[in-house]
Structure 1
Amino acid sequence: MILSSSTRRRSTLAWLLISAIAGGLMTAALPPRSWWPLAIVSVVLYALATTQLTRRHQQAIAGGVFALVWFAPAMQWMWFLTAPGYVVAIVVFASFHAIAAAAAPSGRWSTIGRPAAHTLAEVIRLSFPFGGVPLANVGLTQVGGPLLAVARVGGVIALTWLVFQTGFSLAAMVESKRTTSSPAVTPRLAFSALGVVVVVIVAGLVAPRGRDHADPLTIAAVQGGGEQGTHALDVPASEVFAAHLAATSTISPSDGIDVVVWPENGIDVNDAPFDGSSAYDAITAEADRLGVPFTVGITIDSEFSQHPVDGHFVNAQVIVTPTGEITGVYEKVKIVPFGEYAPFRDQLAALGAPMDLIPLDAIRGQDPSVLTLPDGTTMGVVISWEVFFGDRGREAGAGHLIINPTNGSSYTGTTLQNQQVASSKLRAVENGRWVIQASPTGYSGFIDPSGRLVDRSEIGERRVMVGKVTPRSGLTWYRALGDRPWQAAVVAVLAWSLWAHRRRESTSATGSGAELSTWA
């Protein structure tokens, strides 16, 4: 039946609306709502839309709409860093999925090609631009569901592919029932792809997950409390320090604490080294009173850092023993664009952007992220933003446990904070380690190696969280292999599906009608 142009237009708009609904469902699957099944439902709806939108530009628009509605609410925290940057970021990241939708194969090979294309779009987003912005990623949708175990096999990339592949396979089955006469739609490849999905899920359940290494430690994570939505210029550093010192003073030597963890930016020292400052003296006194080491987050001028540079600052985590010895220093490697440094500073200032909110740029650390406590226990450190990156977690996973000192006080609401807790769960499972998250205003928490949130503070409260944590050793498959095998697999599947699709089109054009595969 030949449809009129107005009917075709209405049909196109309807499927674009369904793509938008799919994007909204993906947002609902993300923290803070965390309705994990909706991620798969989202992809099913989006896949059905791309099947009906047969023209490349329509598919590109659908991919862009899907991603834009997904990212806009899920990344709204960026507005509080830079409103123009937020708008640019969601448009750029949505364009990745628009390109993926346009470039992926159509017809039967779309069942495996489109999941690979959209997973590749996410792989790129995890590392580009500015080192990547891995917020609102598909892996975060699964931290509350049964698929989380896949993280110990392939991290966020494996989880992302699994969600997209499951959704596209289910959509292909639905479409094959609806259009049984169409040679372009077949459930066989969908069933085969789902078979691979099942294998990956089973692998996650049986894969190595590390082992207990020593007796449990009792760790205190200090949250000083305070308001959210504030900037460093609004709240004096001395107030932040005093709040955490007051919270720490409630710990008794009889509590049996083995180590005290302070959050990121708990101490700010200007124009002087940390060693010898009044803050250092106060921390040493508390460490001596309790008889345990402290790990504290400090901000210092870069001229006093491990690798001195004038005119910048360093965000670091240090270990201070009861005798006042500083036995370990880790300087943050992954720094936050438009938060700890300003790309295009001069150009943005010329446009009137408030660059005074970032008066100095941070410099990146260069040293390993594993610190050693006096008893020989090693702690991997991922400072704040770094916990969103699987590669930083892998490096920290060389320790017996992982700490995530962080500071989310600049952000209003709890979207970012919930996504950070979810990221800590991913890092725990990926590496088979406990993760201790400490924040000045929340959330702080303890997460076990299976990704279970054992305890969590509330936003704004002053609290000392105490938990027993078992040091662990051993490798998971993800910690051993990282992302590269999965990146290569995604590229290979996409390339093969494109080749197969184009070859089939070529043979069809010559009238041979030859099938490339008896199982497809």
Structure 2
Amino acid sequence: MDKLLRPALAAASGALVYFSYAPHSLWYLGIAGIALFWCALAPWPSGWPSARPGARFGALLGFLHALALYLALLPWVGEFVGAAPYIALAVFLALYSLPVGVFGVLLARRPLGFVAFPLVYLAWEFLRSRLPFGGFPWVCLAWGQIDGPLRHLAAWGGPALVGVATVLTACGFAALIASRRPTRRAAAAACALVPTAFGLAAGAAAPGPGENTGEVRAAAIQGNVPRMGLDFNAQRRAVLANHVNETVALAESGERPDFVVWPENSSDVNPFTDSAAAQLISQAVEAIGAPVVVGTITRDEVGARNTMVVFDPETGPGEYHHKKYLQPFGEYMPMRDFFRHFSSYVDMAGDFKPGAGSGLVHAGAVPLGLATCYEVAVDAAYRTAVDAGARILATPTNNATFGFTDMTYQQMAMSRMRAIETDRAVIVAATSGSSAMILPDGSVTQKTGIFEPAALVETLPLRDTLTPAVRFGALIEWLLVAGGAGAMLWSLVHNRGGYAARRNQAAGEPAGNATS
């Protein structure tokens, strides 16, 4: 019976974890889901037909857990290209959890394996977030904890530490329920409770308003996009006109922000080659009388760039950020000729070239760190900008293609986590929603609806602190991953002895001839 029950539990665990992500944001279900996953991997009472699952069965359980999660989390990927590519992505990402299940069942056989399993979970999440083609960090477990107490740990070790703490808490609760030995129950209780205690303590110790080094009046423009009835070129010009109109209307309302952030692709017409586009942007900048950070498409000797450019009312176009971390299969197509054999959608992918630099620009006198759309999921993007001197951050994004799906809310959760991680306010400017103003503690003070033109204006703090995550986050993650690698090696060594004992017993030899 458990050969059916375990896979059902593994799939159910992935479904539970899905509900921890935005827009549901039921963070405690992320912990409950991982706890259920650990129960699916762990040995059961001896009366069950296969009370001790093998490594191959563990691989299946890991795959089912991840597949259920990603099928629920990523339907927005298929909004533009159809169901087949989205399902293929979910299946591919789930393959990374095959070894998670294998090493999970091996560790579950050890008395304190639940302490090591979080590091193994992170190690494979680390690989999935980087390989191949830069990986896919969008599905990291930590994003689902943005409304829970563990989110405060982001300032100390980034999403990696939040993810490890989530799995450790979950496994601790599962082991606490299942264990009967006092020493093991004590260790399980510590794993279940200590991460949350540290999270609450980190939140209580977070910098307050007194840590601000100044304030800035910032604006985010959501111009909205036409949803039907226009050809491609007319659509691009209409989007630009919408952002110009919203900016002019903001100026006419009497607001005078220190700078304005437009979304990614707010001017898909290159203003450096199109005089009409340049004139429209100049009109908006002159009306508002402040620097406007404009998302556009530029081209240089390397190729096309996804670019954010600062347009100043006095000096014109100035500093810029070429998007550095591009989304594979969207903004560029790796191995295009090869994948063309499998899908005609391949040629719909862009051919953008990655930029370089820190992501820091100056909007007037304000050092502003930029992470354009997908970049917010990449740890290095905002950390590099803050290390270079950014005192406030912005996530300009174009999510119009994904309609009313969860994508925009999932991305906002990442911006909120980055605010906590870096101790910076974050401005989210989206073409079609949801745009937001986020304080350094991750709280959202204003946000827009989807497909609603709007202008958000708020006085936000400037800060120059460098959190442990900014200073040492990459090192902390590498150490945790190294711990995961060590845990996997340890599980292999210790389970070889157990395998030898079972083999000898089957051959009629004394079990004592093998060590465990």
**Percent sequence identity over aligned pairs:** 25
For residues 419 and 366 of structure 1, do their structure 2 counterparts lie closer, same or farther at Cα, with a shift above 3 Å needed?
same
Alignment of 1:95 onto 2:109:
no
Deviations 1:144-195 (A, max 9, x none): 1222111111111111111111111111121114xx6xx9x93344245446
Contact 2:122 2:480 in 1 (8 A): no
Contact 2:59 2:98 in 1 (8 A): yes
Give the aligned length.
490
Q: CA RMSD in A?
A: 2.8
For residues 318 and 190 of structure 1, do their structure 2 counterparts lie closer, same or farther at Cα, with a shift above 3 Å needed?
same
Contact 1:208 1:477 in 2 (8 A): no
- Distance in 2, matches of 1:497 and 1:188, equals 24
Q: What is the TM-score with the length of structure 1 in the denominator?
A: 0.87
What secondary structure is seen at the aligned counterpart in 2 of 1:242?
A: helix
Letter in 1 for 2:356: Q
Match of 1:5 in 2: none
Match of 1:295 in 2: 293
Match of 2:332 in 1: 341
- Distance in 1, matches of 2:487 and 2:65, equals 25
Contact 1:260 1:294 in 2 (8 A): yes
Alignment of 1:36 onto 2:34:
no
What secondary structure is seen at the aligned counterpart in 1 of 2:401?
A: coil
Deviation at 1:285? Answer: 3.0
From 352, 356, 365, give the equivalent of 1:366: 356
Deviation at 1:132? Answer: 1.8
Deviation at 1:21? Answer: 0.9
Deviation at 1:295? Answer: 1.0
Match of 1:6 in 2: none
Greater RCO between the two (CA within 8 Å, min separation 6)?
1
- Distance in 2, matches of 1:514 and 1:203, equals 44
Alignment of 1:106 onto 2:108:
yes
From 15, 18, 31, give the equivalent of 1:24: 15
From 368, 372, 378, give the equivalent of 1:383: 372
> Which segment drifts farther, 141-150 or 401-410?
141-150
- Distance in 1, matches of 2:482 and 2:72, equals 29
- Distance in 1, matches of 2:168 and 2:468, equals 21
For residues 493 and 212 of structure 1, do their structure 2 counterparts lie closer, same or farther at Cα, with a shift above 3 Å needed?
same
For residues 501 and 478 of structure 1, do their structure 2 counterparts lie closer, same or farther at Cα, with a shift above 3 Å needed?
same
- Distance in 2, matches of 1:203 and 1:228, equals 47
Match of 1:70 in 2: 69
What secondary structure is seen at the aligned counterpart in 2 of 1:402?
A: strand
From 118, 134, 146, give the equivalent of 2:121: 118
For residues 266 and 504 of structure 1, do their structure 2 counterparts lie closer, same or farther at Cα, with a shift above 3 Å needed?
closer
Deviation at 1:65? Answer: 0.6
Alignment of 1:186 onto 2:189:
no
What secondary structure is seen at the aligned counterpart in 1 of 2:61?
A: helix
- Distance in 1, matches of 2:161 and 2:328, equals 26
Alignment of 1:412 onto 2:414:
no
Contact 1:153 1:203 in 2 (8 A): no
- Distance in 2, matches of 1:38 and 1:28, equals 6
Runs of at least 5 residues in structure 2 that lack an aligned partner in the other structure? 44-51, 502-510
What secondary structure is seen at the aligned counterpart in 2 of 1:140?
A: helix
Contact 1:209 1:431 in 2 (8 A): no
Runs of at least 5 residues in structure 1 that lack an aligned partner in the other structure? 1-9, 516-520
- Distance in 2, matches of 1:134 and 1:257, equals 34
Match of 1:135 in 2: 138
Q: What is the TM-score with the length of structure 2 in the denominator?
A: 0.87
What secondary structure is seen at the aligned counterpart in 2 of 1:468?
A: strand
Letter in 2 for 1:19: A
> Which segment drifts farther, 187-196 or 342-351?
187-196
Deviation at 1:33? Answer: 0.7
Contact 2:296 2:308 in 1 (8 A): yes
Deviation at 1:504? Answer: 7.8
Contact 2:150 2:195 in 1 (8 A): no
